Amino acid sequence: MATLSPETEQNLRQLFRRFNHFMLLMWRLGLGRFINIWPEVSGRIMVIQHVGRKTGKTRQTPVNYAELDGEIYCTAGFGAVSHWYRNLLEHPEVEIWLPNGRFQAHAQDITDQPNTLPILRQVLINSGFAATAVGVYPKTMSDAELADATESYRLIRFTKTQPATGKADLLWVWPVLAGLLLAIVVIWFKRLYDEEDES
């Protein structure tokens, strides 16, 4: 990561954590495709469903990503300390939620493989405001500047193995909201009709 004070880095981690909670909620409501319609600002966002290395519980983490030649890539911008990254090392078989569906995938850290800087650059371009928020400018930095600024980053490749069957688990919210809205409209019209009838 670009040189940041510990306090600034901690504040950014908290900000991204809150943003991730919001993004995960959008995916669970079935809005994942729609939050990807303005990638220049919000970035291209997918969700990794992974297994906690200590708890064994299922976790979901929204991340920015790039798709190149059928492979999916993301980066751990806070480096190897990221819990989700360490979970992937322990349990590389994951599920990824993309705008065009959910897939079982195998995760692999390719940070130390040769010629990965162009891939990392594209992931960071696809991150919208997130990269610039930490002082990384992937569209204008030279290769040397980008490599220096992202020295602690980890680059992960996801190879899709088969489609997954899961769906957004909060889709039931929409018919409930539609029912409530309909009830409000019916009550409003009934009161309006009653008032006209009395006049």
Both 138 and 198 in one domain: the answer is no
E-assigned strand segments in the chain: 45-51, 58-64, 66-68, 71-76, 93-98, 101-109, 154-163
Q: 96 with 35, same domain?
A: yes
112 and 185 share a domain? no
The encoded tokens of residue 91 equal: 């349990």
The rounded distance, in Å, linking the Cα atoms of 155 and 17 is 20
pLDDT of residue 185: 80
Residues 179 and 88 in one domain: no
The percent of residues in the chain predicted with pLDDT above 90, rounded, is: 53
Work out the number of other CB atoms within 10 angstroms of the CB of residue 154: 23
175 shares a domain with 160: no
- Into how many domains does the chain fold? 2
Higher pLDDT, 30 or 96: 96
CA 69, CA 98: separation in Å to the nearest integer? 15
Write down the pTM of the prediction. 0.80
The values of phi and psi at residue 33, to 5°, are -65, -35
C-alpha–C-alpha distance, residues 31 and 45, integer Å: 11
Selection from 107, 93, 29, 30 nearest residue 63 by Cα: 107
pLDDT digits (tens, 9 = 90+) for 44-99: 999 999 999 999 999 999 999 999 999 999 999 888 989 999 999 999 999 999 99
Average pLDDT of the chain, as a whole number: 87
112 pLDDT tier (thresholds 50, 70, 90): very high
Q: 171 Cβ partners below 8 Å, 6+ apart?
A: 29, 30
Inside any domain, residue 74: yes
Q: Are strands 71-76 and 154-163 parallel, antiparallel or unpaired?
A: antiparallel
Q: How far is CA 92 from CA 38, 62, 79, 109, 131, in A?
A: 30, 16, 17, 9, 25
Count other Cβ atoms within 10 Å, centred on residue 167: 10
Domain span at 180: 169-199
116 DSSP assignment: -
pLDDT given at position 114: 95
pLDDT given at position 10: 64
Residue 129 lies in a domain: yes
Higher per-residue confidence, 145 vs 134: 145
Question: By the 8 A CB rule, do 50 and 91 touch?
Answer: yes
1 domain residue, yes or no = no
